[in-house]
Each structure stands twice: as structure tokens, then as C-alpha cells.
Amino acid sequence: MDAQALLQRAVALRDVQDTAGALEAILAAAKLAPNDPNVALGVAQVSFEAGLPAADLYARAAQLSPARIDLQRSRATALAAEGRQADGEALLEQVLAANPAWIDGHRCLSGLRATAGDANFARSFAAAVARGPENFGLRMAWFHVLATAKDWDAARKVIADAETALGERQASLLGKLFIASESGEGADDPALFDGVESVRDVGLDLARVRHFLRGGQVERARDVCVRHMGTPAMRAFWSYLSLAWRLLGDTRADWLDGGMRDVRSYDLDFTPGELAELTETLRGLHTMQLPYHEQSVRGGTQTERPLLLRIDPVIAKAKAKIEAAVRDYIDGLPSADPAHPLLSAPRGPFLFAGSWSVRLRPGGFHSVHTHPMGWISSALYVSVPEAHALGVPPAGHLQFGAPPPELGLGLEPYGAVAPQPGRLALFPSTLWHGTVPFDDGERLTIAFDIIPHPKA
């Protein structure tokens, strides 16, 4: 088999998440074609996903494809994952010095700095804007990074400076409306979004829905959600439509969520020794100081690369147990319903859309959220504090159905799953969920999203 055939084989195996097979094929291709840029990139990507050192491999791929600046971002991410945070930051600083308008590079550097606990995480944007003050897109990317971190004052200043220099534009207007709604300063204004009623944008519609729900304009929130029905964007609106239906007393809320109907718990057959071994393996992967701003983790950390794709016998053993439970969950779903986000999907082969570990410290929790990119979501408890350390129930429990507290809706949760070592909770990705803070100890979990195999 020649190098190109081996490359294609590696791609096909990677697509079905056979990491070991993909790695074997791509390494064989590299022996035959060591200077092929696509093969070199494949070696780096598969090695990274397998949990192997990949920073130097990305460096080699970048050397063979010098025009691909994105490879330097991947290399920096790999450096940080390998405990070489300072080297990753230095690399991005060097590349950004030569390419100050590279927005993805600024975002990556801001993310690395934020997870390292750097309070001035977005400073590279300031230097770049000083060099290119006419770059409105760069200014708005800076705003979005700050807004994601809920640094409202800094985000306001970025927009104000952009408009002073370049005038108001639609993007800056929408940014101001977003800040007004989400920061609370304009939360009580029912007409806040009326001036942009003609603008059709998914991100704007999500902001509208949250604002309408927060302000008691429930019918307007419902109507914005419904207009996305039948489109790929609807996966971001199902959870908000559920809230609107519940507030309006619409029985379709039960059709969609079903309370705890589609939440199931599995106590997997881990031995105490296996859980202890898995605990130590996962602890070693938590190298960050803080989570990314866009994540739901509060008071803890989240791992950065696909956990269940790693070539590691301890993780592979856990993955096999997980896959068996997921198969049982899918096979036990209620009858198919072509209009329902959970029940309409094919029930054949499945893939992991993402997988990670979360380590929460005392007082830690997950903010209420959903997983718009998933079909089925999860939480596998690997290590949890003793009952006396958790605190009074429901401390540490995984709750379902309660809306984000900042919306002030007053809806009660449908129910909860109590944390127990080896317990796996599976539930629809559209279902609101979050955890209750606990008093003391460590809560270590594996989480993942499942999607149907695209060829199923």
C-alpha cells in the first residue's frame, strides 16, 4: 500500500474513531513519505487525539506547510497540553507579531492565558488594534472574547473605542444590545431589541430569546424559537422553547422534555481498584489552572483534548463500559418521533462528539447549560467526596430541568441524579442541567456527547 492509500486509510479510521488503527496507518504513511505535508499533519493530529506528544509533530507539519498559519495554533495548543504553557504563549506571540490581524491566534492565546489564571488574558488584541486601528473585525473579536468572560466594563470600552474610531456599525450595535441584556443594565427594557427586529442572525436571536424570557415576554421568546424549527440552528433553541412552553402551560413541554423520562443512571461494573486507577489517570491530565470562559465549569478544571480517543488502557477500559451503557440507552428510547430532537435520530452506530474530564474543587459546580452540538449527553462519576463532605443533599447532585438562574424564571428542576463512584448518567443534550455546589473534597468525572454516526 502506498503512502496516499495509507493516508486515506488513516482518515477513514479516524472518522470512525479508531485512534489506534489511524495512528498505525498514518505512521506507516510517514515512513514512505516523510516530507509529505498532508501526511505530516495527519501524524500530528492523530497523535494529539491519541494523547501522545504532538507539539514537535505540529512543528514539522508547519515547516512543510509554511503558509498554513493555523498549524502554529495547533502547535501552541499541543505545547500547553504537554505542560509547556510558556512555550505555547511565546510561539503565538511570535506569530502574532508578524500577523497582528490573525484573529484565531489571538483567541487561542487569550484562551491559554485565561486557563493559566492570567487576569489580562486578552492583551494581545490591544497591541494588534494599536497597530491596525482600522480593523473593525479584530476589534469585534476582542469584544467577543471579553463578553464571553463577562468582563462587561472592558467589553463596553472596546465597543466604544471602535465606534469612536470607525463609527457605529451593525456588529457594534448588536454588541451593545447584548451587553445591555446580559449584564442586567437593560434587562427591564421590553423594547431593547425592537430597533433590530429586521435583522436575522442566530446569535442575535439567542440573545433576543434570553432577553424576552428574562423580561416576561414569553410569547415573543417562543415565537423567535419557533421560526428556527426545521433548521440546523434549532438545536440551539430547543432548550429555550422548552422554558417558554413550560411558562405558558403548553403541554408540548412534556412532549419535549418529559421530565426525567429520558434521564437514566447506570452503575457500571468498575471495581474499587479500577476506579482508583482511573482517578489517578484523570488527575494527571488536569494541567490547567482554570477552565475556559465558555465552559460550564466553576471552581475546577476541564481537560482539553478528546479524552475517550486517547490510547491508554485505563481509559480504553472505561470507554468500553461507557459504550455498552450508551448502546443500552439508545435501544431503550421511546418510539421514534420525526419531530423530536432526541427521538428522531437514527439508532444505529454512534460516535463521541466530544469527551473530557472535569475536576471540581470544594464549592465547585457546573452552571446550568445544555449541549447544542450533542444528541445524548452524560456524566460519569469517577471520584466523589464522602457524604459528610458533600454537604446536605442535594449538594453535589446533577439537577435537570431548572433554567439558568440569571433568567429569573422560578421553574423548579424535574429531578436529580445523586453522585456515586462508577455511576453514569445519560440524558438528552437539549435538557437543561447543572450541578449543586458541594462543601469539601474532590469531584472527578468523565463527560461526553454522543451523536449518531453520520452514515447510520
d(CA 140, CA 123): 14
d(CA 309, CA 18): 8
| Residue (of 438, 415, 439, 437) closest to 427 by Cα position | 415
CATH of 264-452 among 3.40.50.300, 2.70.150.10, 2.130.10.10, 2.60.120.620: 2.60.120.620
Query: pTM score, two decimals?
Result: 0.95
Contact call for residues 387 and 288 (beta carbons, < 8 A): no
Check if CATH label 1.25.40.10 holds for domain 3-180: yes
d(CA 432, CA 413): 9
Apex 295 CA angle, 294 and 300, nearest 5 = 130
Over its length of 456 residues, how does the chain's per-residue pLDDT go in tens digits?
899 999 999 999 999 999 999 999 999 999 999 999 999 999 999 999 999 999 999 999 999 999 999 999 999 999 999 999 999 999 999 999 999 999 999 999 999 999 999 999 999 999 999 999 999 999 999 999 999 999 999 999 999 999 999 999 999 999 999 999 999 888 889 999 999 999 999 999 999 999 999 999 999 999 999 999 999 999 999 999 999 999 999 999 999 999 999 999 999 999 999 999 999 999 999 988 877 777 777 888 899 889 999 999 999 999 999 999 999 999 999 999 999 999 999 999 999 999 999 999 989 888 999 999 999 999 999 999 988 888 999 999 999 999 999 999 999 999 999 999 999 999 999 999 999 999 899 999 999 999 999 875
Beta strands in 17-57 (DSSP E): none
